[in-house]
Amino acid sequence: MDDQTPMDDVILDVRDLSMHFPVRAGMFGKTHSAVRAVDNVSFQVRRGETFGIVGESGSGKTTLGRCIMRILGPTGGEIGYASEGAGMVDLAAVEDAQMRDLWREIRMIFQDPQSSLNPRLPVIELVGQVLRKAEGLKGAALADRVADLLKSVGLRPEILHRYPAAFSGGQRQRIGIARALATKPQLVIADEAVSALDVSIQAQTLNLLQDLQEEFGLTYVFIAHDLAVVEHICDRVAVMFLGEIVELADTETLFAAPRHPYTRALLSAVPVPDPRQRSDRRLRAAAPAEVTDTATACKFAARCPHARDLCRRQRPQKRTVGGAEVLCHFAGEI
Amino acid sequence: MTMTQTELANAAESNIDPTPIVLGPWALVWRKFRRHRLAMVSAVVVIFIYLVAIFAEFLAPFPTDQTSVRHTFAPPQPLALFVTDADGTRFRPHVKGLKMEIDREAMRRSFAVDAERIIPVGFFVKGYEYKLLGLIPANRHFFGPLDPRDPMYLWGADRLGRDMFSRIVMGTRVSMSIGLVGVAVSLVIGVAMGGLSGYYGGWVDTLIQRFIEFIRSVPTIPLWMGLAAAIPLDWPPLRTYFVVTVIVSMIGWTSLAREVRGKFLSLRGEDFITAARLDGLTDREVILKHMVPSFSSHIIASLTLAVPLMILAETSLSFLGIGLQPPLVSWGTLLKEAQNIRSIIEAPWLLIAPGSVIVVAVLALNFLGDGLRDAADPYSN
Amino acid sequence: MTQPTPIPTEPAPLLRIAGLKTHFFTDDGVVKAVDGVDLTVEPGKTLCVLGESGCGKSIMARSILRIVDRPGRIVGGSITYRAADGRSVDLAAMSPTSAAIRQIRGSDIAMIFQEPMTSLGPIQKIGKQIVETILLHRRMSKAEAKETAIEMLNRVGIPRPRERFEAYPFELSGGMRQRAMIAMALCCQPRLLIADEPTTALDVTTQAQILDLIADLKEEFGMAVMLITHDLGVVAEVAEDVAVMYLGKVVEKGDVYSIFEEPKHPYTRALLESVPRLGVRHAGRLPAIEGMVPHPLVRPTGCPFRTRCRAFMPGICDVHQPELQRQGRTDVACFLHNPVPAHG
């Protein structure tokens, strides 16, 4: 299906991206093995959409986001990005200086507004320092711009000179969002942007993100572990498991007819906020055996209720079944 | 109950909850520090000691090298404030005179209080000439005998009849400034080395860390002794002073460098540092704007804790006779003079006076440093 | 104030919290973390305390065991615990360091936390820690205690318990550590287990297993569970009774079906509407609760929720504090349902 997507519609084209962290041990830091945090991942993000990446801790979703931001330098593959000024560039290969310019177009919203805002700086600096750098704004001009940004995320401009400690988690995340939007970016990587927020704040923050997307024509890569949130906000979703994308599909397809056994396990584990729909506990899978990452087996085989001999012998290849890309030998059958 | 539109609007407006004013980072540090009683008291003591160091000549009634054969090992004369005689009691600060008696058999001199002789003491009296702050010529002293030739040994006299009080006051300047200068030297080396180590990592880090480990594994006293022995005896006192400072700061910079490196490493992984990098800040800007402010208060605290170490190091060196040499007066050289049994038995003030001053100064600096360290990170909880 | 009188035939509650106030005296001012909480825990039942961060639910739970850190302290109210021998004690009146409260901690009331490392010491083997807890509260020989500990590790679903008995906490994964902490909490068969966000740090698949485990153990040991969470899904999954807290107060309480099906308090309602649900695609926007949780230092006057309430009534909600009163199937503290006190 990706072949039919016109290239000028694609803002991010990730091909065979890998991020292997060497495991060093011993006195001289000899490399013994590598943690394959991201392993041969390919996907495309279309302009204006919200692309979800969902997975549990250790699935590599955060590492993937940090590779796209080039906070981490990936160990393999390409990250094609359709830059406003420079056309298609490979984020995995650009010089640091060019990346610094690209960071105006690609911005990031962090998970924990508590740790991503320097407690020693007032709001005007936190939101405005990127403008100071990128556009050389200062003084009253900077204050005006920051005040406008604060208004656009629903904060009162009087808070310019307050420190982060004066705000609640939701307000801090709005400050983080204002900071991300300061340079009028094209692409925003939101790494667990609402996970640290309270239920009542989560909804309004999701609404805010949607409003801003409409207003500024943003493209989101939305990284999260909460399936309900992902279903709500994303147009397409990739499910990650141990560094690989095991399933990628339109949100509706994925949630209505999950193909990969892992996606199913994930969906069935989510508690439903309705006491009449209590899941039958006995139907759930027992405690997982410890996951082994062997080069010759399907990574999910150890936990998979449908695993067969083939799954333990051979790595599955990506197949397209019913509009979904699935990494499973038996995607169509189960 | 009916309400007009404006009343409703006002009510809605008043229904917005306010954000509280939260203090800035330094105000938070100050508030946390203020609650540390002992540290507050110590801060006052430390400030007092440094004031003494700055205005030493003004406070010392006698020059440090003024000897008096007639008052060798003179005991402390207590300062009395009131005189009672036929006319009643009135305020008149004075010390009692001393009568020297010589025990011919034991070949010993002893001093007795001469109750008859009152040596009046006054404030802002004329005395020896000096330059205040090294600039302003003056001859007034905070207090002293009205007649500068009168003896007044508040803390006793040493073997040459020199006034211990004046010598300790003057020694304060040398000892305390060695602490400060030593710390300044280790600050520069420590921050530079620690910063290089923590920022670049890799082989630079390994090299510097191994070097620090090497330095720390060398026993300090022999190291100092070796270095101090290399100072030629005919060097002027000022140059010796400078070299001793450098030797003393050898101990300070390693721990500071490690602290700075640790802070760099832990901050490098913080989200707000990553966020600052993504804002397009250069490495230099990230370090100066985000990293240094985050650990500057820690550095101030550990520097304060390093000062007493420096003072003790100088004292040890001088006590061993390999640090500062007379005529330079420091707490260490004063202690050195109390190095024999005879002094301790016959003139214990030679030991007690400088000893207690050192203890007070070191304790005060340590408490102050503790308080600063506790207050250093107001965002820790 | 009219208190509903309990029907005499009903079994007495295991724990009754009345008017509990726990305040923190900080440099910036007094934070009224818990400000008049009324709750009961029935024996053998699961009570879920639902609330957002800063609503005081954790502090309330810690107040029960008297493990509130300084500068916090209980400034009012009572926590009546009915011991196995039928006698009642007021935990709020005990000294936090007294032998009596230490006896209750662990053996009568146990607590598990979001972060297992808060109760598992990092430098001792897991088995040894459990054995020590058992020996502290139960009369047993060392060998018996060891067997009990291994049995307990087995019971909480730790594979190869005999091997894991010798493991250090850091050698286990997050889920396994959580299980080990549960094993330690339950080794003395407490009558009440307080679980403070036990699954928040875990992945959904692990969360499901831990919730199942707690539910199974509850049935097996016949203990009561107070589960503190912010997750409506978790509440729906395990609760029998629910108390919804907001800014240090219980705003609504009732059985789980009433709370989910007939919520009365505007906060409970808004909360239920605003959470995204699997399989329910809202067209566009979520019905969100507007505004922010007020800063703990600047509590609104009157009803704590009024600054965000869609049904805010000026002159009433900002003047009077609503009290919990039974309305239909739930107790609710809201002037939409309760009579407004007369002036003066």
C128: three-class secondary structure by DSSP: helix
Q: What is the pLDDT of residues A87-115, one digit of tens each?
A: 889 999 999 889 988 999 999 999 888 88
Tokens of residue B350, six digits:
């030679």
Q: Does C237 sit within 8 Å of A200, measured CB to CB?
A: no
For residue B12, pLDDT over 50 is answered with no
Element holding C259 (H helix, E strand): helix C256-261
Q: What is the pLDDT of residues B88-108, one digit of tens each?
A: 777 777 777 777 777 777 666
For residue A209, pLDDT over 90 is answered with yes
Task: Check residues B114 and C17 and name the one with the higher pLDDT.
Answer: C17
Q: Helix A199-216 crosses helix C266-274 at what angle (to 10 degrees)?
A: 50
Alpha carbons within 13 A on the beta-carbon side of C220: 12
Give exposure, C57-94, as e/b (b: 16+ Cβ within 10 Å). bbbbbbbbbbebeeebebeebebbbbeeeeeebebbeb
Instruction: Give the neighbours of chain A: at least 3 Cβ pairs within 8 Å.
Output: B, C
Where residue C54 falls (left for φ over 0; alpha for ψ -120 to 50; beta otherwise) is left
CB atoms within 10 A of CB A78: 16
Q: Does B19 sit within 8 Å of C28, measured CB to CB?
A: no
CATH number among 1.10.3720.10, 3.40.720.10, 3.40.50.10260, 1.10.150.120, domain B42-56+168-376: 1.10.3720.10
According to DSSP, the β-strands at A87-90 and C192-196 are unpaired
Helices (runs of H) and strands (runs of E) counted in chain C: 10, 12
Q: Does B272 sit within 8 Å of A179, measured CB to CB?
A: no
Residue B157 gets which letter from DSSP?
A: B
CB-CB neighbors (< 8 A) of A57 in chain C: 174, 203
Candidates A103, A129, A162; nearest CB to B19: A162
For residue B81, pLDDT over 70 is answered with yes
Q: Does A279 sit within 8 Å of C257, measured CB to CB?
A: no
Interchain CB contact of B9 with C (< 8 Å): no
Give mean pLDDT, residues A284-308.
68
Q: What is the pLDDT of residues C294-338, one digit of tens each?
A: 877 788 888 989 888 888 888 888 888 898 889 888 999 999 988
How far is the C-alpha of A11 from the C-alpha of A87, rounded, in Å? 10
How far is the C-alpha of B197 from the C-alpha of B204, rounded, in Å? 6
CB-CB neighbors (< 8 A) of C315 in chain B: 1, 3, 11
Instruction: Evaluate whether residue A159 is within a structural domain.
Output: yes
Tokens of residue B95, six digits:
């010390």
Least confident piece of the model among B62-71, B260-269, C37-46, C124-133: B62-71
Q: Tell me the nearest-neighbour CA distance from B12 into chain A, angstroms.
A: 16
How far is the C-alpha of B75 from the C-alpha of A43, rounded, in Å? 91
Q: Tell me whether the omega of the peptide bond preceding residue B327 falls within 30 degrees of 0, making it cis.
A: yes
Q: Does A159 sit within 8 Å of B293, measured CB to CB?
A: no
Residue of A nearest to C287 (CA): A203
> Cα Rg for chain A, rounded, in angstroms?
21
- In a mutational test of the C interface, the residue from A155, A232, A234 whose CB has the highest number of chain C CBs within 10 Å is A232
Backbone angles phi, psi at A172, to 5 degrees: -65, -40
For residue B11, pLDDT over 50 is answered with no
Q: Does C27 sit within 8 Å of B31, measured CB to CB?
A: yes
The greatest distance separating any two alpha carbons of chain A, rounded to the nearest whole angstrom, comes to: 69
How far is the C-alpha of C325 from the C-alpha of B326, rounded, in Å? 87
What pLDDT is attached to residue C50? 93
What pLDDT is attached to residue A239? 95
Cα-to-chain-centroid distance, residue C278: 26
Closest CA to B305 of B352, B246, B241, B259: B259
Instruction: Give the neighbours of chain C: at least 3 Cβ pairs within 8 Å.
Output: A, B
Give exposure, B332-354, as e/b (b: 16+ Cβ within 10 Å). bbbbbbbeeeebeeebebbbbbb
How far is the C-alpha of C273 from the C-alpha of A203, rounded, in Å? 10
What pLDDT is attached to residue C8? 47
What's the pLDDT band for C37 if we cut at 50, 70, 90?
Answer: very high
ipTM of the complex: 0.86
What's the pLDDT band for A162 if we cut at 50, 70, 90?
Answer: confident
What pLDDT is attached to residue A279? 64
- Residue pair C14/C82 in contact (Cβ under 8 Å)? The answer is yes
What pLDDT is attached to residue A191? 92
For residue A189, pLDDT over 60 is answered with yes
What pLDDT is attached to residue B380? 61
Closest CA to B53 of B131, B168, B162: B168
- Alpha-carbon dihedral angle through residues B95, B96, B100, B106, given to the nearest 10 degrees: -90
What pLDDT is attached to residue C4? 52
Q: Does B19 sit within 8 Å of C298, measured CB to CB?
A: yes
How far is the C-alpha of C66 from the C-alpha of C94, rounded, in Å? 8
According to DSSP, the β-strands at C88-90 and C325-327 are unpaired
User: How many interface pairs between A and C have CB atoms less than 8 angstroms apart?
Assistant: 140
Least confident piece of the model among A258-267, A301-310, C7-16: C7-16
CATH class of C15-108+190-332: alpha beta
For residue C127, pLDDT over 70 is answered with yes
Q: Tell me the nearest-neighbour CA distance from C309 into chain B, angstroms.
A: 10
SS3 content of chain C, % helix, strand, coil (to 5): 35, 25, 45
Q: Who's near B180: CB < 8 A, 6+ residues apart?
A: B307
Backbone angles phi, psi at C264, to 5 degrees: -105, -40
Q: Does C278 sit within 8 Å of A203, measured CB to CB?
A: no
Torsion sign, CA atoms B359, B362, B364, B367 = negative
Domain count, chain A: 1
| Domain extent listing, chain C | 15-108+190-332, 118-188
Provide the domain limits for residue A178.
Answer: 116-182
What mean pLDDT is reported for chain A? 86
A123: three-class secondary structure by DSSP: helix
Closest CA to C251 of C315, C323, C301: C323
In terms of Cβ atoms closer than 10 Å to its own Cβ (0-12, 13-18, 19+), residue C280 is exposed
How far is the C-alpha of A248 from the C-alpha of A85, rounded, in Å? 30
Give mean pLDDT, residues C248-266.
93
Least confident piece of the model among B250-254, C2-6, C87-91: C2-6
Q: Helix B164-200 crosses helix B292-319 at what angle (to 10 degrees)?
A: 140
Q: Does A273 sit within 8 Å of C260, measured CB to CB?
A: yes
Beta strands in chain A (DSSP E): 10-25, 30-46, 50-54, 76-83, 87-90, 106-109, 187-191, 219-224, 236-241, 244-250, 318-321, 324-327
CB-CB neighbors (< 8 A) of C312 in chain B: 12, 15
Residue of A nearest to B296 (CA): A120
Length of chain C: 344
Candidates A201, A204, A278; nearest CB to C237: A278
How far is the C-alpha of A171 from the C-alpha of A127, rounded, in Å? 13
Residue of A nearest to C216 (CA): A281
How far is the C-alpha of A332 from the C-alpha of A260, rounded, in Å? 9
For residue A281, pLDDT over 60 is answered with no
Interchain CB contact of C54 with B (< 8 Å): no
Least confident piece of the model among A210-219, A301-310, C216-225, C259-268: A301-310
What mean pLDDT is reported for chain B? 78
The greatest distance separating any two alpha carbons of chain C, rounded to the nearest whole angstrom, comes to: 69
CB atoms within 10 A of CB C121: 14
Give mean pLDDT, residues B22-50.
84
Q: Tell me the nearest-neighbour CA distance from A254 into chain B, angstroms.
A: 32
In terms of Cβ atoms closer than 10 Å to its own Cβ (0-12, 13-18, 19+), residue A55 is buried
Candidates A108, A133, A159; nearest CB to B280: A133
How far is the C-alpha of C20 from the C-alpha of B378, rounded, in Å? 30
CB-CB neighbors (< 8 A) of B27 in chain A: none
How far is the C-alpha of B319 from the C-alpha of A129, rounded, in Å? 55
Give mean pLDDT, residues A108-130.
90
> CA-CA distances (angstroms) from residue B152 to A97, B125, B130?
73, 13, 19
Q: Does C315 sit within 8 Å of B19, measured CB to CB?
A: no
Residue of B nearest to C300 (CA): B17
Give mean pLDDT, residues C77-84.
90
Q: Helix B292-319 crosses helix B237-268 at what angle (to 10 degrees)?
A: 150
- Residue pair B130/B139 in contact (Cβ under 8 Å)? The answer is yes
Closest CA to B153 of B91, B85, B66, B55: B66
Give mean pLDDT, residues B172-189.
85
Give mean pLDDT, residues A198-215.
90
Question: What string of DSSP letters covers A76-118?
Answer: EEEEEEEETTTEEEETTTS-HHHHHHHTTTEEEE-S-HHHHS-
What pLDDT is attached to residue C251? 94
What pLDDT is attached to residue C109? 92
| Domain extent listing, chain B | 42-56+168-376
For residue B172, pLDDT over 90 is answered with no
Residue of B nearest to C317 (CA): B15
Residue of C nearest to B31 (CA): C27
Backbone angles phi, psi at A324, to 5 degrees: -120, 140
Q: What is the pLDDT of residues B236-268, one digit of tens each?
A: 777 777 777 787 777 678 888 888 888 888 888
Q: Does C28 sit within 8 Å of B22, measured CB to CB?
A: yes
